[in-house]
Amino acid sequence: MGGAVNHYNLGFISDVDLFNHVKDTVEQYRFDIDLKGFNKNLIDPIKLTFDSLVYSMEIEEIVKNEVLRQIDKSNTNQIGYFHQNIFKYIGEGWNVPKTGFDVIHAENHYFVEMKNKHNTMNSASSQKTYMKMQSKLLEDDEAVCLLVEVIAKASQDKTWQISLDGKNIKNKRIKRVSMDKFYELVTGDGLAFKKLCEALPSVLEDVVTQRVITQSSDTVITELNLLSNNPLKSLYLLAFSHYEGFDEFNV
């Protein structure tokens, strides 16, 4: 790390640990994308055709928007890394295991699953998470399982009630907790999460100042044009090259 670290004075995390954790998160941000990466999850050319004609936009602009969407999705995952892994540095006894739950306190029997938004999980994933927590309660009769939401509907620490097989299920040792209340549990400071949010812009400014931000590189359109002289045609060939008749496809 080049240069001195400023004082953020949060109390529950050292200035150096906070700076380095923010720096680690920034360094995982995505800046580059090529055609292989762009098509990793199989681009739908029919959807992009609709978008282009319905919104009266050139296909190149539609592709650029899809590139930005993919980069944003990748970077959103890095924010999940930030929220989870900061608990390597906060609170006594808390740690981030490589497998299993996102955050745990083995001695105090806390087991945490962390989600960015209250509406991130659909019904199936909610049920899967709840059953995972039920299983932990069966393994450990002192366990308390928490679904911690960074952006919850409200500041809360309440029993999580869910519908399983048409029945409303709840257990006082399975809870739904907002991020501010989780920080309070970990640090003993009810304003800890608010203080972190207040300090974050300053930490990010210091990180960005002390490192060279990689310039974005996007070769998707260039590579599409190499496949054919029409990027829309190239998108179809990319998706359907093994389908009948697409060896003579034209748009």
pLDDT score of 217: 81
- Residue 21 included in any domain: yes
In a shared domain, residues 185 and 104: yes
In a shared domain, residues 114 and 181: yes
- Residue 196 included in any domain: no
Please list, in sequence order, all residues whose beta carbon lies within 8 angstroms of the beta carbon of residue 200, skipping any fewer than 6 positions away. Answer: 22
Cα–Cα distance, 246 to 228 (Å, whole number): 13
Specify the 3-state DSSP secondary structure of 171. strand
In a shared domain, residues 169 and 241: no
Q: What is the DSSP string of 234-246?
A: HHHHHHHTTSTTG
- Residue 74 included in any domain: yes
List the chain pLDDT tens, one digit each, 251 residues. Answer: 445 578 899 999 999 999 999 999 999 988 889 999 999 888 999 999 999 999 999 999 999 999 999 999 989 989 999 999 999 999 999 999 999 999 999 999 999 999 988 667 788 899 999 999 999 999 999 999 999 999 999 999 999 999 888 889 999 999 999 999 999 999 999 999 999 999 999 999 999 888 766 667 889 999 999 989 899 999 999 999 889 888 888 88
The two counts, helices (H) then strands (E), for the chain are 9, 7
